[in-house]
Structure 1
Amino acid sequence: MTFSDVLRACARRWYVLVVVLALAAAGAVQAHRESRPEYTVTASLVVLPSPSLVAARLPTSGSGGLTTNPFNAQTGGSTLAAVLADALNTATVQDEVLTGGSGRASALWDSQAAQLVGLTTVSDTPEGATDLMVALVEGAGTVVERVQLEAGAPADQLFTTAVGSPADYPLRDYPDRLRSVVGLALAGLVVAVLAAVLLDRLVLAAVRVRGRRRRRRAARAEEPAA
């Protein structure tokens, strides 16, 4: 069957298209009304040396400006920011940090702003998204501290985290609304075309069968009696 055959079948059975598409449209409207919102909160953190680490690196300090923190002054903040973003995107760390929260979170490190980590939390309520962000910001500091201690840094000479941009107001969105409406519309169109083509083939097949039967009866009627 060619595309032209499909178009002709749809033209002949246009009423099938109307009925099925009307049902699909009603379903899409209902899905649009019942779609649930999601709330998104964004913020950012900066990884920077703590005051005690800065003091330890001064030439006048007791250590003579030397520190045993393996993350150096030039690249330590950016390295830890990248490690932090990777850690916050793992299920293990999120289960540890986001205890009791309902939703999801993600972190993004941008090499153009090397010491900055972007944070995003999503929940089905504005309060939930905000609570997740609070937990994520608090947990980020713990993650950075643990990474340094495991690398052998002294506890009083660590990089720490600070808020780069504070959490914004929860932004409401309906991500399922567009998917539901478009999905139902496309499904309705496909079903309508298939139903029209199937009905058209059945009707044409029935017409051909009736035609053959009439021709047989006519042929038998024309046969001379024995």
Structure 2
Amino acid sequence: MNPYDVVRAIARRWYIPLAGVVIGAVLAIVAWSVVQPTYERSASQLLLPGESSVPDGDNPYLYIGGIGPAGDVLVRSIASTNALNDLEREFPGAEVAVGRDPTTSAPVINITVTARSDDEAAQVLDLFVKRTSTVLEDLQAQERIPEPDRITVIPITVDSESVLRQKERMMVTVAAGAIPVVLSAFVAALVDGLIVARSRRRRSPDDSTDETTVRGPADSWSADGLEFEDSVETGYDTLEPVRSVRRDE
């Protein structure tokens, strides 16, 4: 079935796609109401070397290249399974992504928070920003690193407002509305094909029907002693008499 036939079939069975559109609209409204938007906030932090690692009067930012591995360890500690489980219990539905900034070789840590409300996003982000400093301090304290040699962390950027994310909400809404419409169009084309095929079978002659061949009006005439007869086969059930006409030269 080519696209033109499909369009004609849908047009003939328009009531089926119409029902699909109505159902799709209802489902889209329900999906838009059920799936809530998310709020996203992010922050970035930088690790700095200890005071004893920087000569007096030098710029500490010139000595950050050697503490990249410490940033990797810190990221794993912050995003541990226990920490994420505690977050889920306190803020259901909230998600946190912690990782090294891939765009720079500096020990920059990015924290991205996604929550169901702007207030929750702000609270979770503040919690993990503070957690970074606490975990870093605890790790160095366990190793009994002297205070002057300890790495510190400072915030670079912290979002003060959340970004509204509705991608998931829109995808679910579009899917909920489109699926019934597509299915109804398929059903309409299928139903129309079945109805047309049945109608053609009803109109086709039955093989068991006897056909009667009758002789219709005919002319019979003779010439030079030979008799010629013209006959016509028709599908009529009645017979017409055969007329014979003798023509003499």
TM-score, length-scaled by structure 1: 0.72
Higher relative contact order (CA 8 A, sep 6+): 1
Query: Per the alignment, do residues 190 and 211 of structure 1 end up closer, same or farther by CA in structure 2, a change over 3 Å counting?
Result: same
Match of 1:104 in 2: 95
1:158 aligns with 2:154: no
Q: How does 1:35-184 map to 2 (within 5 A)?
A: 35-49=35-49, 53-54=50-51, 56-57=52-53, 73-95=63-85, 100-102=90-92, 103-108=94-99, 109-112=101-104, 114-148=106-140, 152=143, 154-156=145-147, 157-184=149-176
**More strand per residue: 1 or 2?**
2
Instruction: Give the number of equivalent residue pairs.
Output: 206
Q: Secondary structure at the match of 1:219?
A: coil
1:194 aligns with 2:190: no
1:10 aligns with 2:6: no
Match of 1:29 in 2: 29
1:219 aligns with 2:215: no
Task: Measure the CA separation in 2 of the matches of 1:14 and 1:185.
Answer: 18
**Does structure 2 retain, via aligned residues, the 8 Å contact 1:42–1:168?**
no
**More helix per residue: 1 or 2?**
1
**Does structure 2 retain, via aligned residues, the 8 Å contact 1:35–1:174?**
no
Q: CA RMSD in A?
A: 3.4
Q: Residue by residue, what CA displacement relative to the aligned partner does 1:123-144 show, whole Å, maximum 9, x if unpaired?
A: 1122221221122112212333
Q: Residue by residue, what CA displacement relative to the aligned partner does 1:42-67 show, whole Å, maximum 9, x if unpaired?
A: 22212113xxx30x33668xxxxxxx
Task: Measure the CA separation in 2 of the matches of 1:98 and 1:32.
Answer: 24
Q: Secondary structure at the match of 2:91?
A: coil
Aligned-pair distance for 1:101? Answer: 2.9
**Does structure 1 retain, via aligned residues, the 8 Å contact 2:64–2:107?**
no
Q: Residue by residue, what CA displacement relative to the aligned partner does 1:57-113 show, whole Å, maximum 9, x if unpaired?
A: 3668xxxxxxxxxxxx44234333344345545534433677623311012423426
Q: Residue by residue, what CA displacement relative to the aligned partner does 1:164-211 show, whole Å, maximum 9, x if unpaired?
A: 123422333333321122212331232122111221122123213422
Task: Measure the CA separation in 2 of the matches of 1:174 and 1:89.
Answer: 25
Task: Measure the CA separation in 2 of the matches of 1:39 and 1:183.
Answer: 22
Aligned-pair distance for 1:3? Answer: 4.2
Q: Percent sequence identity over matched residues?
A: 20
Query: Per the alignment, do residues 121 and 22 of structure 1 end up closer, same or farther by CA in structure 2, a change over 3 Å counting?
Result: same
TM-score, length-scaled by structure 2: 0.66
